[in-house]
Structure 1
């Protein structure tokens, strides 16, 4: 009867953990998307036509150039084929500048593909206004009493291609004595520079200011591209001296407006991509995050109004980041003066621990050329560093095994007096020089390592779409092979809780073998839980990134090998204890 009760307790406890973990993991550890499902990056198709919206008023007293003009949604190819454009050609970016409005509204990332298929198109970041995925950067002016260029202004270009070696200047005059220039330059990575100049050729002084903005229609609809406890997706920046991670699309949908008295940079971040506008270092600007119209989001910074005397000109410099959140690239831009740009990757509170893990893993990958092998080597290094702690754990478990007969005798002798039983057990631990918590220390140390690796696999683009061997073509995504749909032969995707694949099965088997080598717990309920736990973890870990499962499997194998080595080195520890 007692044995049945223990089994029922163990099963109920395991079921509670399994079902509870499924809820917790969705909130705090969202699983990465499966490969071959990404179709767009610039935004999801909206349910309504896109609008070519005029930016909100950049500063008090500014004069709007034009009212918002609604357009019927047009295909992306049609929008790119119409109008005059200046091509953008760099090793990292391809696209164009629209001479109508001087907008940077066509950017694709040359090094990154939408899916793991060989013929997959490159990732698109920006798309023109009027399309369902409108997303663009723009610079401009506001002024009092004069006409300034707006979204419908047609600019004249000095060239046909913007490259790292050939800047392009756009010019326009309002016919009343004022002329405007935008000199665009670009580096070999993702940074575009826009020098804005207003020349006052009139007879009287004019008051004007300049601004830069990112405008986005719609927000990601993929559940894996939503903000979570572990990763912020949406409006972000370095404003008022701190990194902004608290503003979400849902706040803007409620009509909330966020204003700041200073900005180092601000824009929109996706899981792997960033679009941001950046003022000159130390420049005094005001900034805002708003939703000018429904499902349309905007980040903007504006400079104070300045008087431009007749015959004088004022030049300001804005920069635009449009590209991938590569750790080394963001760090290089940050070192060059863009404050905290590397925080566009939401490292969280454990950045001090996650970055070293990333740097070591990335270095190993550069050496061996296979990301899966790099994870296995990282595991070996971590196990080597933790060997003294693990050795102490093993010694503690072996001692626990040797004194189990004494522990059982004490439990039987004082089974009706639990306080006395605990006192006698603690005295036994002290006499035998056993620390019952020593066996937990390696597990405790593994938690931050596992979390750091989880964040690295989830957030860093360097790990995206990295293959291992055979069917594992993306270690940052879950194992694509599932037993329940006969490895893809059946046309359905199992729910995450039942998405068991070969990696999850190997994980359960190696954990089971590892537990078999551990000393058996004295409590019957614990014994039953430990028998079930490996297979429970098999279900828990199945939806996680394949790279995490590979790390855990390698760690289990190394633990088994270490235990076998210790048993061979100290055979007396495996001998049956004398009663």
Structure 2
């Protein structure tokens, strides 16, 4: 009787830890899934707004309407296959930028993502280049620049020109590729009678923190790469100190979940990167060339830098790092510790997507591939389980004989395992191997923009968000949205059922606590997995189905597993 009470208490404590402790652990370890993009109402799928998608969104609290602000100053239009916007000739700022290929929601009439906005509008976000001057006056935010053209486009550079009335002339030659990379050649020509010195710089100014969620495993906020390593700074910690990073090779900027702005100085020039804050919720990332460059009368000096503003497309980021020599540019995507697994999974999943045209089907094919790779290990696992089942009577006898002498019991058990050539941990290996794979797949679903808004089938319109369909409101027929904790979607239910069926195929464990844990665990997993991305749930369901098929085949190879152990 006491043993039964002890088992029940142990089981209750374990169940409570899993049910209530897991959400806390998951919130710290796993990145939060993207918010749902749809809701099922009256049996119909309705698209939800996504204010977090737009880092410089229009807002009622705008200081002034953006269109009014844009019309106040002369501008050069930006037009590329991926970007549209304009350059402000007052202050030579890139402060108006829209991403043509990415919409805020999945609705047909959804506006595109607006990345940059001018000062004076809500959530101002802009970039610029300039000089620290010694011996003369450099252009400032009020300088009106002259432009050699009215459109900046691939193959159509634009030169901005200004002078200070003291003999110095300034040029910023801007060019842009077909994606998201601007190149700026800054030139100072000294027409005065005395030598001067200059320090070129570039800056990014952002008012207000990102609306994306910053997490331990998925950074959102200011960042810098210096001396071959990345520095990630939280918005709420950015004002604690001014962060200066002397380096040669590196960059600084702001990263959102899917978007990036980065100031990239000449990778061979010694510079000082800086992440800092200002009054009124203002954040800035900038660089300045450390050594002042002298300019003799009649001479000029030129410095080249780059500015990235766009989507964090994995292949493009990797290509910029390799082709342009940008030091650790791929750190803009917070791959983390499992990068060595995550990037191959991404590239393989993306290849499967291009092959079949559906990311859900690609996830299923990825699961099949992983199960095939793990099949030899599963064979050894089942062989080990058969051996363990055969020695269960001897283990029970040892436990009865040495129940008062725990150290001796451990010695005798190890001797038994050695004599019978049994490895009690072999059965855990496939699960241990799948844990980093599942974590890596989940981060791929959440971090990579290639997975954003990718549909599967029927009501699943975004594999990186939770399942929006739940029986708690009769699948959307009732005007009621269940709280997140109990909003169990169809896919989490299928996951619980598949896990239950998988456990039923296994021989019943001899330990009563294990029986109780296995009986309730599938249904607890429904609650645990409900807030996760449906793409991960699809992976797990597919894996369970394949595991059951694998078990059926392996039981035929190891019939001892289906027979009761000898007494």
TM-score computed with the length of structure 1 as normaliser: 0.90
In the alignment, structure 1 residue 333 sits paired with structure 2 residue 333:
no
Deviation for aligned residue 1:122:
1.1
Q: Which runs of 5+ in 1 are unaligned?
A: 50-72
Report the Cα distance in structure 2 between the residues aligned to 1:382 and 1:189, rounded to whole angstroms.
Answer: 34
In the alignment, structure 1 residue 38 sits paired with structure 2 residue 50:
yes
Change (3 A) 1:420 1:519: farther
Change (3 A) 1:302 1:573: closer
Report the Cα distance in structure 2 between the residues aligned to 1:465 and 1:371, rounded to whole angstroms.
Answer: 10
Change (3 A) 1:261 1:408: closer
- Mapping of 1:379-418 within 5 angstroms? 379-408=367-396, 410-411=398-399
Report the Cα distance in structure 1 between the residues aligned to 2:346 and 2:371, rounded to whole angstroms.
Answer: 17
State whether residues 372 and 467 of structure 1, in contact with CA within 8 Å, keep that contact through their aligned partners in structure 2: yes
In the alignment, structure 1 residue 286 sits paired with structure 2 residue 236:
no
- Mapping of 1:280-359 within 5 angstroms? 280-303=266-289, 304-336=291-323, 337-359=325-347
Deviation for aligned residue 1:416:
5.7
Change (3 A) 1:422 1:257: closer
Report the Cα distance in structure 2 between the residues aligned to 1:425 and 1:16, rounded to whole angstroms.
Answer: 30
State whether residues 241 and 262 of structure 1, in contact with CA within 8 Å, keep that contact through their aligned partners in structure 2: no
1:494-540, Cα deviation, whole Å (9 max, x unpaired): 44332210110111111111112223222211211111111112211
In the alignment, structure 1 residue 235 sits paired with structure 2 residue 222:
yes
In the alignment, structure 1 residue 24 sits paired with structure 2 residue 7:
no
Deviation for aligned residue 1:31:
1.9
Over the aligned positions, Cα root-mean-square deviation in angstroms equals 2.3
In the alignment, structure 1 residue 553 sits paired with structure 2 residue 541:
yes
Higher mean alpha-carbon deviation, 361-370 vs 562-571, is at: 562-571
Instruction: Please give the secondary structure, in 2, of the residue aligned with 1:285.
Output: strand
Change (3 A) 1:421 1:306: closer
State whether residues 248 and 267 of structure 2, in contact with CA within 8 Å, keep that contact through their aligned partners in structure 1: no
State whether residues 249 and 326 of structure 2, in contact with CA within 8 Å, keep that contact through their aligned partners in structure 1: no
Deviation for aligned residue 1:568:
3.2
Among 422, 436, 448, the alignment partner of 1:448 is 436
Among 271, 274, 278, the alignment partner of 2:257 is 271
**Corresponding residue for 2:350?**
362
Instruction: Please give the secondary structure, in 2, of the residue aligned with 1:527.
Output: helix
State whether residues 171 and 186 of structure 2, in contact with CA within 8 Å, keep that contact through their aligned partners in structure 1: yes
State whether residues 106 and 136 of structure 1, in contact with CA within 8 Å, keep that contact through their aligned partners in structure 2: yes
**Corresponding residue for 1:61?**
none
Deviation for aligned residue 1:379:
0.9
Change (3 A) 1:76 1:328: same
Report the Cα distance in structure 2 between the residues aligned to 1:523 and 1:259, rounded to whole angstroms.
Answer: 58
**Corresponding residue for 1:180?**
170
State whether residues 249 and 268 of structure 2, in contact with CA within 8 Å, keep that contact through their aligned partners in structure 1: no
Among 79, 97, 103, the alignment partner of 1:107 is 97
In the alignment, structure 1 residue 88 sits paired with structure 2 residue 60:
no
**Corresponding residue for 1:68?**
none
Change (3 A) 1:269 1:529: same
Change (3 A) 1:573 1:286: closer
State whether residues 278 and 318 of structure 1, in contact with CA within 8 Å, keep that contact through their aligned partners in structure 2: yes
Instruction: Please give the secondary structure, in 2, of the residue aligned with 1:393.
Output: helix
State whether residues 240 and 263 of structure 1, in contact with CA within 8 Å, keep that contact through their aligned partners in structure 2: yes
Report the Cα distance in structure 1 between the residues aligned to 2:231 and 2:493, rounded to whole angstroms.
Answer: 41
TM-score computed with the length of structure 2 as normaliser: 0.91
1:395-421, Cα deviation, whole Å (9 max, x unpaired): 222333444455445545665665565
Among 146, 152, 155, the alignment partner of 2:142 is 152
State whether residues 57 and 114 of structure 2, in contact with CA within 8 Å, keep that contact through their aligned partners in structure 1: no
Report the Cα distance in structure 2 between the residues aligned to 1:154 and 1:490, rounded to whole angstroms.
Answer: 59
**Corresponding residue for 1:166?**
156
- Mapping of 1:484-523 within 5 angstroms? 484-490=472-478, 493-523=481-511
Deviation for aligned residue 1:491:
5.1
Deviation for aligned residue 1:447:
1.1
1:424-482, Cα deviation, whole Å (9 max, x unpaired): 55454444433221111111111111111122112111111111111111111111223
**Corresponding residue for 1:53?**
none
**Corresponding residue for 1:135?**
125
Instruction: Please give the secondary structure, in 1, of the residue aligned with 2:283.
Output: strand
Deviation for aligned residue 1:9:
3.2
1:36-92, Cα deviation, whole Å (9 max, x unpaired): 44225325789987xxxxxxxxxxxxxxxxxxxxxxx11223223332221111111
Deviation for aligned residue 1:352:
1.7
Higher mean alpha-carbon deviation, 107-116 vs 545-554, is at: 107-116
Higher mean alpha-carbon deviation, 288-297 vs 548-557, is at: 288-297
Deviation for aligned residue 1:207:
2.5
- Equivalenced residue count is 552
Report the Cα distance in structure 2 between the residues aligned to 1:276 and 1:88, rounded to whole angstroms.
Answer: 18
**Corresponding residue for 2:43?**
none
Report the Cα distance in structure 1 between the residues aligned to 2:282 and 2:360, rounded to whole angstroms.
Answer: 40
Deviation for aligned residue 1:260:
2.7
Report the Cα distance in structure 1 between the residues aligned to 2:471 and 2:56, rounded to whole angstroms.
Answer: 34
1:242-272, Cα deviation, whole Å (9 max, x unpaired): 2222x22222223544343445211111111
Instruction: Please give the secondary structure, in 2, of the residue aligned with 1:442.
Output: helix
State whether residues 31 and 443 of structure 2, in contact with CA within 8 Å, keep that contact through their aligned partners in structure 1: no
Report the Cα distance in structure 2 between the residues aligned to 1:259 and 1:132, rounded to whole angstroms.
Answer: 30
Report the Cα distance in structure 2 between the residues aligned to 1:509 and 1:226, rounded to whole angstroms.
Answer: 32
**Corresponding residue for 1:67?**
none
Q: Which runs of 5+ in 2 are unaligned?
A: 38-47
